Amino acid sequence: MEFSNRLKSLPPQFFATLVQKVSAALEEGRDVINLGQGNPDQPTPEHIVKALQSASANPQNHKYSPFRGIAELKQAASNYYKREFNVDVDPNTEVAIMFGTKIGLVELPLALMNENDLMLLPDPGYPDYLSGVGLASVQYETMPLLEKNGFLPDYKMLSEEQKQLAKLMYLNYPNNPTGATATKEFFEETVQLAKESNITIVHDFAYGAIGYDGIKPVSFLQADGAKDVGVEMYTLSKTYNMAGWRVGFAVGNKQIIEAINLIQDHLFVSLFPAVQHAAAVALNESQACVHELVSLYEGRRNTLVDACAKIGWDIQAPKGSFFAWLPVAKGYTSETFADLLLEKADVVVAAGIGFGSFGEGYVRVGLLVDEDRLKEAIARIEKLNLF
């Protein structure tokens, strides 16, 4: 039996290759410090776990969910956006429930684009955006995210042809992998471009709760007219350490929400109702756990920045997300530098080239180990005399 051409067109799974390298090192019995992962290391808050335990004991939740999710969770998403961002969202027509936002990001080109249509992607960017490109058999071009521009795309660099042909654009702030954040003014510029060029905008807001130095990340929907041109995707994976629970939602433009719901009508019967009830509790109840989590990450960020400064590694402190974007040592590519750190220091980082051609020259570090392990990782790197 031969794989379909569609399946053959999919890109290699970057993170799967990274996991294989880490597993091989661990099997050798090495004390590996894994800074290359994007998996939250803290447990889901206890009150959310208890909500799931209670909801899972209710026989009503053992039945099929409504195809488009339960009303309680859609209302909770609406409540969350009003409370956190002062954005009004109609729970009935402007919310789509998803099995985590990765599925939404991958399925949306199938729902909105025809074969060979053009989409615009950030570079560097989340590698799985390309999965949607392959499955939908569409074309893509990239928008460079450069340090001199604060890792924001410069729309003046788009050609008239790109603006004319592009149907869909993905953005992601706070950004994976760079840790950069966006402003309301940037999103307003994005809305203007979208309206002038008839481009649909999808903002991946996976790290929407994680901002530093007292500055809260900006929602795309806070820009005037954002709901006219696009949607925002929000996952509970990072905000509440619920990565394994697979629950997220899209909010915004009614037509795009309907497109997501329609394609999912054919792919799924929504997620386990008990998980949806617990997710509603997470969104509706006290957000103290979120504030504590952001404080934890900020402490780790500061520890990393200070430790790097002491060994002469000149890095920029990320403004959001739980990632830092670090320049490689002179004379190395991102891959050879990452391989060196694993081989000689037992420290895992993610090579920047895995996030796109403009990721070359950097490695991504996750703030997903405790401060002592971060200090130990940098101390090991110091012994290599690279800086």
Distance of CA 344 to the CA centre of its chain: 30
Please, which pLDDT band fits residue 60 given cuts at 50, 70 and 90? Answer: very high
Beta strands in 45-147 (DSSP E): 95-98, 118-123, 139-144
- CA dist 95 and 193 (Å) reads 24
At residue 217, the pLDDT reads 98
Pick from 117, 127, 185: nearest CA to 155: 185
Do 307 and 241 fall within a single domain? no
| Tally of structural domains, the chain | 2
Residue 387, in any domain of the structure: no
Mean pLDDT of 365-379: 97
Residues 284, 329: Cα–Cα separation, whole Å: 45
Which tokens go with 221? Answer: 């929907």
Check pLDDT > 80 for residue 195. yes
Query: Does pLDDT of 235 surpass 90?
Result: yes
What is the predicted pLDDT for the residue at 37? 87
120 with 172, same domain: the answer is: yes
Beta strands in the chain (DSSP E): 33-34, 95-98, 118-123, 139-144, 166-171, 200-204, 230-235, 248-252, 323-327, 347-348, 350-351, 362-366
Q: What is the pLDDT of residue 387?
A: 92
Same domain, 14 and 137: no
In a shared domain, residues 234 and 274: yes
Residue 17, pLDDT > 80, answer no
The Cα-based distances of 221 to 104, 170, 230, 233, 250 in angstroms read 17, 14, 9, 11, 11
**Please, what is the average pLDDT of the chain?**
96
Least confident range from 19-23, 62-66, 380-384: namely 19-23
Decide if pLDDT at 190 tops 80: yes
Residues 40 and 70 both lie in one domain: no
The percentage of the chain sitting over the pLDDT mark of 70, rounded to a whole number, equals 100
Reported as a pLDDT band with limits 50, 70 and 90, residue 21 is: confident
pLDDT at 25 over 90: no
**What pLDDT digit, counting tens, does each position of 246-258 carry?**
999 999 999 999 9
Partners of residue 121 on adjacent β-strands: 142
Asked if 372 and 328 sit in the same domain, the reply is yes
Give dist(CA 284, CA 362) in Å, integer.
38
Per-residue confidence at 55, pLDDT binned at 50, 70, 90? Answer: very high
Query: Which CATH number covers residue 309?
Result: 3.90.1150.10
pLDDT band at 20 (very low <50, low <70, confident <90, very high): confident
Query: Same structural domain for residues 13 and 82?
Result: no
Q: Are residues 103 and 244 in the same domain?
A: yes
Among the candidates 223, 257, 284, a domain finishes at 284
Q: What is the pLDDT of residues 120-156, one digit of tens each?
A: 999 999 999 999 999 999 999 999 999 999 999 999 9
19 confidence band (pLDDT: 50, 70, 90): confident
Q: What's the confidence (pLDDT) of residue 14? A: 72
Three-state secondary structure call for residue 141: strand
Residue 65 has pLDDT above 90, yes or no: yes
Give domain status of residue 50, yes or no: no
Question: What's the CATH code of the domain at 97?
Answer: 3.40.640.10
- The model's pLDDT over 33-48, given as tens digits with 9 standing for 90+, comes to 999 988 999 999 999 9
Asked if 313 and 203 count as a contact pair (C-beta separation under 8 A), the reply is no
Element (H, E) at 304: helix 288-310
- C-alpha triplet 317, 214, 124: angle, nearest 5°: 40
Q: Do residues 362 and 295 both lie within one domain?
A: yes
pLDDT of residue 26: 87
pLDDT digit string, tens, across residues 334-361: 999 999 999 999 999 999 999 999 999 9
In a domain, 37, yes or no: yes
pLDDT at 13: 74
pLDDT band at 11 (very low <50, low <70, confident <90, very high): confident
**Pairing mode, if any, of strands 33-34 and 347-348?**
parallel
pLDDT of residue 18: 80
Chain-centroid distance of CA 174 in Å reads 8
| 292 in the same domain as 277 | no
> pLDDT-derived band of residue 15, with 50, 70 and 90 as boundaries?
confident
80 shares its domain with 225? yes
Q: Please give the Cα distance from 368 to 141 (Å, whole number).
A: 32
Asked if residue 58 belongs to a domain, the reply is no
Same-domain status, 214 and 319: no
Domain that residue 302 falls in:
5-44+288-382
Confidence of residue 313 (pLDDT cuts 50, 70, 90): very high
CB 259 within 8 A of CB 285: no
**Nearest one of 180, 161, 164 to 172, comparing CA atoms:** 180
